[in-house]
Chain A
Amino acid sequence: MDFLRDPIGFVIQWYVGWLGELGLPSSWVDVMAKLTGALVLATGAMLFVVFLIWYERKLIGRIQDRFGPNRVGPWGLLQPVADMLKIFTKEYITPIGADKITYNLAPILAVAAVLLLWSVLPLSVTVVGSDLNVGLLFLIAIGGLGEMSYILAGWGSNNKYALLGAFRLVAQLISYEVPLVLSALIPVMLAGTLSVTGIVQAQQGVWFIVAAPAAALIFFIASIAEIGRSPFDLIEAESELVAGYNIEYSGLKFGMFFVAEFLHAFTVSLIFATVFLGGWQGPGAEEIPVLGFVYLMVKTFVVYFVTVLFRGTLPRFRIDQMMNLNWKVLTPLSLALIIAMAIVGGVTRELPVFWQVIGFLLVNLLLLWAADHLMRLAQRRKTKINLAMQTGSGVLTTSTKHGTGE
């Protein structure tokens, strides 16, 4: 295999061959190679966070008409390194009455849950951690582990704000898991497999974002909610919860949550690029695998750019607005989408791929239009009732019932 065409695959093959020459039995070689791969991937992903933090701070700075970090190193590139060194030297504080085991387990589990996601994502034609036949389901199940870590952090800290933050976070994550799973079913239906590698290969001709833009939109919104970023960042609403579940953590333990959050944001973009934007697919990616890796990274950074743009520009949701969006819009829309896609897929089974894609696209756009129309109607009705209440009764209400005014 040519080194230039596929450097990562070349190194892997060379390493496995070298292990074999050492005279180890083949099963040991397999285990050793997998362990090394996991170590390299996890370390690489963790180190990558240093760059991500710089990228995001710089971008947010530009959005807010600032320079962003620009003192340490060229273009401020070494600023996150300096921050990390600072965080290493900080004191560890364990609050009185904290549950030691859960308190210390939570940051580890938070990072581990994100790193586990990387194990099934294909980075190029030849480089994939493990091609599970239930890969997509695995990605969602690991999200559940992340929820556990937040609960552990909130409860172990022995602080009521941390506990409240953890409750709110888990309520949000569990709610938004529903549209996330339902919209992830659409690519599974189109590809006919749950394996992430299979889903990427099925997008050889058409990316799934073209065939199912509505599913992609729901998946993207639910993903942003899953990483708890603005406009879904009410889990760390400073004015209400002080800081949320990680309030009692200091030093490297807080750093772990920080790393997990940034890496999760990037990983979610990676999953979106893999499932809806064709992963490593692109011109010449089959022959030159390293090109596939470049394509994947470019697509991921485009998606990541959008999430950062959201973070820098959108205000925070109120909790009832967040729940309304989830249960009254995204969940019914994704359910209707699944039924519609199944019907269209069944009707156009005999037709060539082009007409199939046109059919899928049309039904997606139709459903998006219908959802938008229904939302507008509901909005108008609410406003009308609200106006009638204000003018008709002539009583100044101080009702705390939300959802009528906006």
Chain B
Amino acid sequence: MNGLQLVFLLAALVSLFSAVMVVSARRMMHAALWLVLTLMGVAVIFVTLQSSFFAVVQVLVYVGAIAILIIFSVMLTRRVMEDQGDQVLPGWRAAALVAVLLFAVIVGFLALWQGFSAMLVELPSDADNLLELGKALVSPQGYVLPFELASVLLVAALIGAITIAVDLKEDQRG
């Protein structure tokens, strides 16, 4: 076992453990903090895949967004944010069955994928995968259509949020 595998295993274990803690923590604040740790673990896995861009964006987007999420969870919930009740739903057996079935289907499909047996290609040291990613996002042969569609969707969400937030009456009064 080399160092890279060790790092991968540690990161995977930390992410999985904290993912379990996200759904089992009693305090909402703690759940959000465990979520940060989970996403950090995913960022480390991106690093081991030599994809520094995704690792950094993972931290940038998710940790920054989770700070906002925590603020909202504090502001919109009960003061202590601590649930004393039962953590298990009445219909948990049916839910567990659906979850296991879904998991089995995903694993089944993934087992059919050829990518697992393919050998990793070592990147040449001077190759800039960031440059390639940028080109792929805007080239007509690449992903320009999904990229633009996602942009339009985000702009629509932005405008929608502003429309809801703006107070017209207040504005007209000046």
The listed residue (B56, B64, B71, B174) touching A138 by CB distance below 8 A is B56
Q: Among A134, A163, A401, find the residue whose CB has the most chain B CB atoms closer than 10 A.
A: A134
Contacts of B159 in A (CB 8 A): none
- Asked if B174 and A404 sit within 8 Å, CB to CB, the answer is yes
Interface size class of A (residues with CB under 8 A): 20 to 34
- Nearest A residue to B66 via CB reads A148
Is B11 an interface residue, CB under 8 A from the partner?
Answer: no
Q: Is the CB–CB distance between B67 and A151 below 8 Å?
A: yes
Contact B67 A144 (CB under 8 A): yes
Q: In the assembled complex, which residues on chain B have CB atoms less than 8 Å from the CB atom of A177?
A: 64
Indicate whether A144 sits within 8 Å of B70 (C-beta atoms), given known contacts A99-B29, A132-B52, A134-B52. Answer: no
Give which listed residue, B3, B60, B130, contacts A141 with CB less than 8 A. B60
Interface secondary structure of B, over-half rule: helix
Which secondary structure characterizes the binding site on chain A?
helix
Report the minimal beta-carbon distance from A143 to chain B, rounded to whole angstroms.
8
Known A-B contacts A132-B52, A148-B36, A151-B71; A137 and B128 likewise in contact (beta carbons under 8 Å):
no
* Interface range on chain B (Cβ under 8 Å from partner): 20 to 34
For B10, the chain A residues whose CB sits under 8 A away are: none
Determine the chain A residues whose CB is within 8 A of the CB of B66 once the complex forms. Answer: 148
Within 8 A of B (CB), among A117-144: 132-134, 137-138, 140-142, 144
Chain B window 59-81, contacts with chain A (Cβ cutoff 8 Å), 1 for yes, 0 for no:
11001101110110011000000
**How distant is A363 from chain B, measured CB to nearest CB, in Å?**
23
A27 touches which of B3, B29, B67 (Cβ 8 Å)? B3
A130 to B26, CA, bound (A): 40
B101 contacts the other chain (Cβ, under 8 Å)? no
Contact of B70 among A134, A155, A401 (CB under 8 A): A155
Query: Could you tell me which B residues sit within 8 Å of A by CB distance?
Result: 3, 29, 33, 36, 52-53, 56-57, 59-60, 63-64, 66-68, 70-71, 74-75, 128, 130, 170, 174
What are 24 A-B contacts defined by CB distance under 8 Å? A99-B29, A102-B33, A133-B128, A133-B130, A137-B53, A137-B57, A140-B60, A141-B56, A141-B60, A144-B60, A144-B63, A144-B67, A145-B59, A147-B64, A148-B36, A148-B66, A151-B70, A155-B29, A155-B70, A167-B71, A167-B75, A170-B71, A401-B170, A404-B174
